[in-house]
Chains A and B, each alone.
Chain A
Amino acid sequence: MSEKRVLLDPTSEQKPTVRNRVERPSSLQGLTIGLLDISKNRGDVFLDQLESQLSGRGLKVNRYRKPTFTRPAPVDLQLKIASECDLIVEGLAD
């Protein structure tokens, strides 16, 4: 009865590490804003609206598109966005 009972952890044993988000910019002036269309239905309608409003304020806007919403963005696209933009907005739902 005194024998200790041991189970083996079925998980990946990843301890949650707290990662702070990038701090929000206090102003959008001078920043490049990426708009990422994930190829989900009518996401472009939402992003078109955003683009016209942001451009109307004289902000620089880049558009990007994922080949499919069912998979993560290709690494090349991720790198492109990261190198060209200061912040990114994606239309997630339909």
Chain B
Amino acid sequence: MDQLSESLIAVVKYDCPTCRLVKPVLDQLERRSLTVYTQDDPNFPAGIAQVVDDTRLEHSYRLNIETVPTLIRTEGGREVQRTVGWNRSKWEAVSRIGGLGTHLPETRPGCGSKSVEPGVAEALAVRWGEVQLTSRQIELGTLEDEVEACFERGWSDGLPVIPPTETRVQRMLAGTHRRPDEVVGIIPPNYNTCTVEKVAVNAVMAGCKPEYLPVVLTAVEAALMEDFGMHGLLATTFFATPMVVVNGPMAGQIGMNWGVNALGQGNRANATIGRTLQLVIRNVGGGVPGGVDRGMLGYPGKYTFCFAEREIDSPWESLAVERGFSPQASTVSLFAASGVQPVMDQASRHPESLTRSFAACLKVDGHPKHANAPTPVLVISPEHSRRYDEAGWPKGRLQQRLAQLLEMPVQELKTGADGIAEGISPGRVEAHQTRPKFGSGAPYIIRAGGEAGLFSAIISSWGGSKSVTREVIK
């Protein structure tokens, strides 16, 4: 490269004291074909011939500037060297000019570039970025309200959604290392291809933060696992809908709630992760109530149903560990959930008594005369958990005891028994004295809830779906 093709680029902003400090150095460098890009004040630095107004930050974005001042040497139009902040020897090395700023201190740190300020980077990625989003662009009319526009296009579950602008979707995609065009799966009921980008668009609408996106993507993937049977779950006339349970360190990292009101409203991560899964089924899969969603009544869990297991003070292995995952893994488990049934026992002080209470309440799940019913979830509160912890009962012992107590006398289950036609056909059970309430013996057991309250919860299931668990990969 000949000398003529060499040039220097400095990126500065007036707001940065170090940039103002190096003004005399920029004057020195001017004779070596220096171009200065200025981020905030086009009049700074005064007296330099080649000052480019970069208040739109295009050059700063394209040059990938994180700190100002940044000094770059190019040869033949290509960058060969750069330095950030002020450091005399480094500036002399990059510029190949000695005796720079001899009256200045040796070194001074720079300031943050305006192009990487919070909220700015994503907007610049949309404006100048090379990664193009491929979703169809829908231009709104001048008088059209953004939120109303989403309602009118049928994208909402009935509550307002955050309008999915390009900037918001770019910001959401920063939450994952996965490419926007990567296919997550084929979404029932219409079996449409769903990309990471489409999940991100729906996550924006649901109100997610970018850091939730890996959990959301895992939840979508879990819903598509064969065992989970998402199509049937959507189509059934029964109440069931996906319930998301998160285990492992990520639950805490993204601020999920496993404590007070864990199954209720008020926590952004819980609310929006569950909601995104529902919106993906609706918008990408085409599953809408009255269409393929034939829920006879439905229930509020169909807006969102997501919480984390309370692992912090539990001596029991978590749901995820029970299913073979490492305690360090973050996982998403899905259940076909059909509503919450309270268990109220304020008197039991010993595990046996409390276990009998649980069994008695579990027996009526769905119908008191149903046997081999789908496995429900028993969410045990801290106060109830304490009964087992104090007595040293491991989780397995509780499950074993519940399975024993949930063997029901066939005589009580037969059709017609107790004057109720619902029940088991006599021919199917003659060989047995008892039948298990649940095909799996005992319910799934998860800990959650606030410190006060001698209650627990039974979450009914649905027979066409098996619970699944999947590890979160960022």
A binds B: yes
Q: Which A residues lie at the B interface, using CB under 8 A?
A: 4-14, 68-72
- Are A70 and B464 interface neighbours, CB within 8 A? yes
From residue B245, how far is it (CB to closest CB) to chain A in Å? 21
> How many pairs of A and B residues are in contact by the CB < 8 Å rule?
81
B135 interface neighbour in A4, A9, A69, A72, Cβ under 8 Å: A9
From residue A78, how far is it (CB to closest CB) to chain B in Å? 14
- Are B165 and A12 interface neighbours, CB within 8 A? no
- Are B198 and A7 interface neighbours, CB within 8 A? no
- A4–B164 Cα distance when bound, in Å, is 14
- A11–B192 Cα distance when bound, in Å, is 9
- A91–B136 Cα distance when bound, in Å, is 40
7 nearest A-B pairs in the assembled complex, by CB-CB distance: A70-B464, A12-B192, A70-B232, A9-B136, A8-B135, A10-B283, A10-B201
B198 interface neighbour in A10, A14, A68, Cβ under 8 Å: A10
Interface of chain B: mostly helix, strand, loop or mixed: mixed
User: Knowing that A7-B140, A8-B166, A9-B136 are A-B contacts, what are 15 other residue pairs whose CB atoms are under 8 Å apart, sorted by A's residue number?
Assistant: A5-B139, A5-B140, A7-B164, A9-B201, A10-B202, A10-B279, A11-B284, A12-B193, A12-B198, A12-B286, A68-B232, A70-B232, A70-B464, A71-B231, A71-B232
Interface size in chain B (residues, C-beta < 8 A): 38
- Are B229 and A12 interface neighbours, CB within 8 A? no
The verdict on A12 contacting B155 (CB below 8 Å), with A68-B464, A72-B231 known, is no
- Are B463 and A9 interface neighbours, CB within 8 A? no
* 25 A-B pairs with C-beta separation under 8 A: A5-B139, A6-B137, A6-B138, A6-B165, A6-B166, A7-B140, A8-B136, A8-B138, A8-B166, A9-B136, A9-B137, A9-B201, A10-B135, A10-B164, A10-B198, A10-B284, A11-B155, A11-B283, A11-B284, A12-B187, A12-B192, A13-B135, A70-B232, A71-B464, A72-B231
Determine if B421 is an interface residue (Cβ-Cβ < 8 Å): no
- A6–B192 Cα distance when bound, in Å, is 23
Name the CB-closest residue of A to B200. A8
- A72–B189 Cα distance when bound, in Å, is 10
Name the CB-closest residue of A to B126. A6
Determine if B205 is an interface residue (Cβ-Cβ < 8 Å): yes
B164 interface neighbour in A8, A13, A14, A71, Cβ under 8 Å: A8
- A71–B226 Cα distance when bound, in Å, is 10
- Are A8 and B284 interface neighbours, CB within 8 A? no
Interface of chain A: mostly helix, strand, loop or mixed: loop
- Are A8 and B165 interface neighbours, CB within 8 A? yes
- Are B133 and A8 interface neighbours, CB within 8 A? yes
- Are A12 and B138 interface neighbours, CB within 8 A? no
Determine if B150 is an interface residue (Cβ-Cβ < 8 Å): yes
- A10–B284 Cα distance when bound, in Å, is 7
From residue A42, how far is it (CB to closest CB) to chain B in Å? 12
Chain A residues with CB below 8 A from B231, complex form: 71-72
Determine if B110 is an interface residue (Cβ-Cβ < 8 Å): no
Name the CB-closest residue of A to B186. A12
- A10–B280 Cα distance when bound, in Å, is 8
The verdict on A7 contacting B165 (CB below 8 Å), with A12-B190, A12-B193, A70-B232 known, is yes
The verdict on A7 contacting B146 (CB below 8 Å), with A13-B136, A70-B463, A70-B464 known, is yes
Chain B residues with CB below 8 A from A72, complex form: 231
From residue B238, how far is it (CB to closest CB) to chain A in Å? 10
Determine if B263 is an interface residue (Cβ-Cβ < 8 Å): no
Name the CB-closest residue of B to A12. B192
Chain B residues with CB below 8 A from A13, complex form: 135-136
From residue B137, how far is it (CB to closest CB) to chain A in Å? 5
- Are B139 and A6 interface neighbours, CB within 8 A? yes
Chain B residues with CB below 8 A from A71, complex form: 229, 231-232, 464
From residue A3, how far is it (CB to closest CB) to chain B in Å? 11
From residue B23, how far is it (CB to closest CB) to chain A in Å? 35
A5 interface neighbour in B133, B146, B283, B464, Cβ under 8 Å: B146
Determine if B351 is an interface residue (Cβ-Cβ < 8 Å): no
Determine if B465 is an interface residue (Cβ-Cβ < 8 Å): yes
- Are B150 and A14 interface neighbours, CB within 8 A? no
Chain B residues with CB below 8 A from A8, complex form: 133, 135-138, 164-166, 169, 201
Encoded as 1 (CB less than 8 Å from any A CB) or 0, chain B from 280 to 291 comes to: 000111100000
Name the CB-closest residue of A to B163. A7
Determine if B7 is an interface residue (Cβ-Cβ < 8 Å): no
Chain A residues with CB below 8 A from B49, complex form: none
From residue B267, how far is it (CB to closest CB) to chain A in Å? 23
**Chain B, 54-84, CB within 8 A of any chain A CB:** none
